[in-house]
């Protein structure tokens, strides 16, 4: 059957399905969800970097693999017929696309009719990561990974038609990828939204406006996006047959919560997703309490209203209302950091290291945890979150300059050439506005005032914060990084020199010895030797101090009685296609 006929039959089937739904008199299932910031900055996968870009993008675009909803330690095929075939001890992988994947209808295609996804689309989408015109913000994901795939030099045009040795087309659905070396994380990278597959026609047709005109193959299509306000998505009527995970895949605990009841249901279940952006927590909380939102991350200020602080048990009032909850341990890295290229706080001389060490020793992370996180966070040394290899035992590493140690901090200031803070100008500190961040900044200022270090705080929208960091214009800054996949290598990559801003190395840390060790672990399987190197790399970070911290949150979610199939996680947001709304329980 030719491609056009194949697409015609799928559209006929979709049309008949819609007629049957209409005849049945079914009402639209609408799920309302919050975003705790000013929203995404781009809907172009290769230019997205934040969790908020992720939330929006994956509703419309898809990756070859996705994290399993029922078990986030695994991945499953999404655009593929099956998991890729491992060849040559992991140096080569063979992939086969499903035969029923279509991009949505859009004016960018001849006649406005969406076409089938093919191998060339995969190669084109990954090459976009290497195109300097796309800012190379996510090039770190594939850099030095695929044989022959290199970024274009400054001033040259990227040649999308040039052959790449490591991208081997067998036919329109089958291809192989040859790696520079077996890379343990490679398949996990293919679950990340930045590697989503896009059609070249849309990029070429919309040009600079492509980031606002998504043309994907995903379960939803964009209806409206009003920056800093809201965005809405409607069901993709041409979405291929995809189904809710089978009952036997769910754990007994999840099954007892009703998460297996929708097994076998065709996806997406909801007809419409409505996202509202909240910079402040009060309106977010009020709208949830008025039953206008399906679930929320519980803001710290409202935790005592919903839970017993001692037992963490949901209050009787909320239980009587039919509200349920989920506690989600995050692979979380909340930090304060420095731009290592900054004239004041950056640099690698003993004096510059001493200044950063003084600041680190003055910060009391336990006070932040108790006052702003209800003591629910894990305070830990280093950059590798709890539950991953390389995380220090009990979160403590004696090599780390963890505070509070005011006497040692003052001594470090003397080493830095600023005795008692004399001669040190205020340090510009960037963070996002909203939530309790203004109070957190006040606490940080108070803690640093003990050693006479002054901050000049600059609170901006989260998208502006990331822009300033990417442009290397924020001397000191703070936000949270959630690991993209369950391996400490992902966090250690944040300090790899070639990943400097606008890549994931927001600190612009540059240590050739560290880089050499990082390059050695990329191909290593988990084991004692790799963990030993992880520890060695963290020791370098303790010495140079490009960042201080850290905290890892246990995120508590409240789930409205009308929202079904909700199993929140914060590494993968394709699970919104699993959600359902029971309006009888609103």
544-573 per-position pLDDT tens digit: 999 999 999 999 999 999 999 999 998 889
Q: 3-state SS of the chain: helix, strand, coil percent to 5?
A: 35, 20, 45
pLDDT at position 14 is: 47
pLDDT band with cut points at 50, 70 and 90 for residue 25 = very low
Question: Is 146 inside a domain boundary?
Answer: yes
Domain boundary among 235, 253, 281: 235
Q: Which range in 139-143, 276-280, 359-363 is most confidently predicted, on average pLDDT? A: 359-363
Can you read off the two tokens belonging to residue 485? 């996949």
pLDDT at position 1 is: 43
Full residue range of the structural domain in which residue 374 is found: 332-552
Half-sphere exposure of 322 (CA within 13 A, CB side): 11
What are phi and psi for residue 554, nearest 5 degrees?
-105, 110
3-class DSSP state of 73: strand
Asked whether residue 220 falls in the same domain as residue 351, the answer is no
Asked whether residue 27 falls in the same domain as residue 143, the answer is yes
pLDDT tens for residues 94-130? 999 999 999 999 999 999 999 999 999 999 999 999 9
3-class DSSP state of 159: coil
Asked whether residue 188 falls in the same domain as residue 64, the answer is yes
Q: Is the pLDDT of residue 3 over 80?
A: no
The CATH number that applies at residue 188 is 3.40.190.10
Give the closest residue to 432 by CA, choosing from 456, 410, 462, 406.
462
- What are residue 326's DSSP bridge partners? 557
Average pLDDT for 8-22: 48
Question: Is 568 inside a domain boundary?
Answer: no
Average pLDDT for 249-266: 96
> How far is the CA of 394 from the CAs of 372, 380, 391, in angstroms?
21, 8, 8
Taking a C-beta distance cutoff of 8 angstroms, is the pair 269, 580 a contact? yes
Pairing of strands 85-87, 563-564: unpaired
pLDDT band with cut points at 50, 70 and 90 for residue 51 = confident
pLDDT band with cut points at 50, 70 and 90 for residue 21 = very low
Q: CA 274 to CA 277: how far, in whole Å?
A: 10
pLDDT tens for residues 373-387? 888 899 999 999 998
Average pLDDT for 188-204: 97
Asked whether residue 87 falls in the same domain as residue 207, the answer is yes
pLDDT at position 91 is: 94
Q: Is the pLDDT of residue 398 over 70?
A: yes
Give the closest residue to 225 by CA, choosing from 208, 209, 204, 238.
209
Model-level pTM greater than 0.75?
A: yes
3-class DSSP state of 458: strand
Give the closest residue to 217 by CA, choosing from 120, 121, 95, 126.
121
pLDDT band with cut points at 50, 70 and 90 for residue 18 = very low
Domain boundary among 210, 235, 260: 235
Average pLDDT for 490-507: 94
Q: Is the pLDDT of residue 9 over 80?
A: no
- What are residue 178's DSSP bridge partners? 92
Task: Indicate the DSSP class of residue 393.
Answer: G
Helix axes 350-362, 437-449, angle to 10 degrees: 120
pLDDT at position 32 is: 98
pLDDT tens for residues 529-541? 999 999 999 999 9
Average pLDDT for 326-339: 94
- The structure tokens 């291929």 sit at 240
Average pLDDT for 466-486: 93
Asked whether residue 230 falls in the same domain as residue 339, the answer is no
pLDDT tens for residues 279-289? 999 999 999 99
Handedness of CA 412, 417, 420, 426 (dihedral sign): negative
pLDDT at position 559 is: 98
pLDDT at position 10 is: 52
Average pLDDT for 235-254: 97
Domain count, the chain: 2
Per-chain mean pLDDT for the chain? 93
Question: Is 143 inside a domain boundary?
Answer: yes
Question: Is 437 inside a domain boundary?
Answer: yes
Asked whether residue 78 falls in the same domain as residue 225, the answer is yes
Q: Is 416 exposed, middle or buried (0-12, 13-18, 19+ CB in 10 A)?
A: buried
The CATH number that applies at residue 386 is 3.10.105.10
Domain boundary among 202, 220, 235: 235
- Tell me which of 59 and 434 has the higher pLDDT: 59
Q: Is 198 exposed, middle or buried (0-12, 13-18, 19+ CB in 10 A)?
A: buried
3-class DSSP state of 390: coil
> How far is the CA of 105 from the CAs of 116, 231, 237, 450, in angstroms?
11, 20, 10, 61
Asked whether residue 219 falls in the same domain as residue 346, the answer is no
Question: Is 277 inside a domain boundary?
Answer: no
Q: Is the pLDDT of residue 470 over 80?
A: yes
Question: Is 431 inside a domain boundary?
Answer: yes
Asked whether residue 336 falls in the same domain as residue 231, the answer is no
Question: Is 506 inside a domain boundary?
Answer: yes
Question: Is 311 inside a domain boundary?
Answer: no
Handedness of CA 373, 377, 382, 388 (dihedral sign): negative
pLDDT at position 309 is: 80
Q: CA 212 to CA 222: how far, in whole Å?
A: 9
């Amino acid at each position: 059957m030719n491609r056009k006929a194949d697409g015609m039959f799928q559209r006929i089937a979709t049309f008949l399905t819609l007629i049957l739904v209409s005849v049945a008199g079914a009402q639209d299932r609408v799920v309302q969800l919050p975003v705790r910031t000013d929203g995404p900055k781009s809907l172009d996968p290769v230019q997205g970097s934040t969790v908020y870009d992720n939330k929006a993008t994956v509703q419309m675009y898809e990756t070859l693999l996705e994290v399993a909803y029922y078990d986030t330690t695994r991945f499953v095929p999404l655009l593929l017929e099956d998991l890729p075939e491992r060849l040559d001890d992991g140096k080569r992988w063979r992939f086969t696309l499903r035969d029923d994947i279509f991009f949505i209808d859009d004016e960018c295609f001849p006649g406005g009719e969406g076409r089938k996804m093919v191998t060339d689309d995969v190669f084109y989408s990954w090459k976009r990561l290497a195109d300097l015109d796309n800012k190379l913000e996510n090039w770190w994901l594939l850099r030095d990974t695929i044989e022959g795939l290199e970024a274009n030099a400054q001033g040259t045009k990227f040649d999308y038609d040039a052959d790449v040795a490591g991208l081997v087309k067998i036919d329109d659905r089958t291809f192989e990828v040859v790696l520079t070396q077996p890379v343990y994380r490679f398949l996990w990278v293919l679950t990340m939204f930045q590697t989503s597959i896009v059609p070249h026609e849309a990029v070429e047709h919309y040009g600079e406006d492509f980031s606002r005109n998504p043309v994907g193959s995903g379960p939803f299509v964009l209806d409206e996006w009003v920056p800093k306000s809201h965005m809405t998505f409607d069901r993709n009527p041409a979405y291929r047959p995809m189904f809710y995970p089978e009952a036997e895949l769910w754990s007994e605990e999840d099954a007892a919560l009703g998460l297996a009841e929708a097994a076998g249901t065709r996806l997406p279940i909801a007809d419409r997703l409505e996202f509202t952006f909240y910079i402040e927590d009060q309106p977010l909380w009020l709208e949830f309490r008025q039953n206008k939102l399906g679930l929320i991350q519980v803001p710290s200020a409202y935790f005592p209203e919903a839970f017993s602080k001692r037992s963490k048990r949901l209050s009787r009032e909320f239980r009587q209302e039919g509200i349920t909850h989920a506690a989600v341990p995050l692979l979380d890295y909340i930090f304060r950091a420095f731009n290592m290229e900054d004239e004041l706080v950056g640099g690698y001389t003993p004096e510059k290291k001493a200044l950063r060490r003084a600041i680190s020793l003055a910060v009391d992370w336990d006070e932040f945890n108790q006052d702003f996180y209800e003591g629910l966070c894990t305070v830990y040394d280093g950059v590798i979150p709890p539950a991953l290899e390389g995380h220090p035992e009990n979160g403590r590493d004696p090599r780390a300059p963890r505070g509070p140690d005011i006497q040692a901090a003052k001594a470090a200031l003397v080493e830095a050439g600023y005795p008692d803070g004399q001669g040190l100008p205020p340090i510009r500190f960037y963070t996002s506005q909203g939530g309790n961040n203004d109070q957190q900044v006040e606490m940080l200022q108070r803690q640093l005032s003990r050693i006479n270090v002054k901050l000049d705080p600059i609170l901006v929208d989260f998208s502006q914060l990331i822009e300033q960091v990417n442009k290397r214009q924020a001397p000191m800054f703070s936000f949270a990084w959630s690991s993209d996949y369950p391996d400490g290598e992902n966090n250690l990559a944040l300090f790899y020199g070639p990943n400097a801003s606008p890549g994931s190395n927001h600190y612009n840390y540059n240590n050739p010895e560290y880089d050499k060790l990082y390059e050695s672990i990329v191909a290593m399987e988990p084991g004692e030797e790799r963990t030993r190197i992880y520890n060695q790399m963290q020791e370098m970070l303790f010495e140079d101090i490009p960042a201080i911290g850290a905290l890892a949150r246990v995120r508590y979610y409240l789930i409205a009685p009308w929202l079904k199939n909700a199993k929140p996680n914060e590494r993968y947001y394709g699970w919104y296609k699993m959600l359902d709304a029971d309006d009888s329980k609103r």
